[in-house]
């Protein structure tokens, strides 16, 4: 069972005034992916500057494609992708 982990960091220095609205839309998009079986987990970072999304049953190319559709993509400093193999 392969997984793709996307670790995203947001540029918190340059957020727009409607950031909370964008976050709400972001959560709706990720909830849709979860209901479609594309996302296994979503973790918010304790530093409040990003998140970790664990995709399942897709390859890295598809994960990158999906990430480009997120409302927050324009405020991301970086996104790191890790390919994982689930053991249990």
pTM of the predicted protein model: 0.90
Residue with tokens 């500057």: 49
SS3 55: strand
How many Å apart are CA 83 and CA 73, to the nearest integer?
A: 21
pLDDT computed for residue 86 by the predictor: 79
How many Å apart are CA 45 and CA 52, to the nearest integer?
A: 7
Q: Residue 1: pLDDT above 80? A: no
Q: Residue 3: pLDDT above 90? A: yes
pLDDT computed for residue 59 by the predictor: 95
Q: What is the CATH number of domain 2-85?
A: 3.30.70.1060
pLDDT computed for residue 4 by the predictor: 97
pLDDT of 22-75, one tens digit each? 999 999 999 999 999 999 999 999 998 999 999 999 999 999 999 999 999 999
């Amino acid at each position: 069972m392969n997984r793709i982990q996307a670790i995203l960091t947001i540029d918190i220095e340059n957020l727009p005034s409607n950031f909370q609205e964008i976050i709400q839309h972001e959560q709706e998009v990720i909830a849709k992916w979860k209901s479609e079986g594309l996302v296994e987990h979503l973790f918010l970072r304790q530093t409040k500057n990003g998140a970790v999304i664990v995709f399942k049953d897709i390859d890295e190319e598809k994960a990158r494609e999906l990430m480009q559709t997120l409302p927050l993509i324009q405020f991301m400093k970086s996104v790191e992708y890790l390919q994982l193999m689930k053991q249990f």
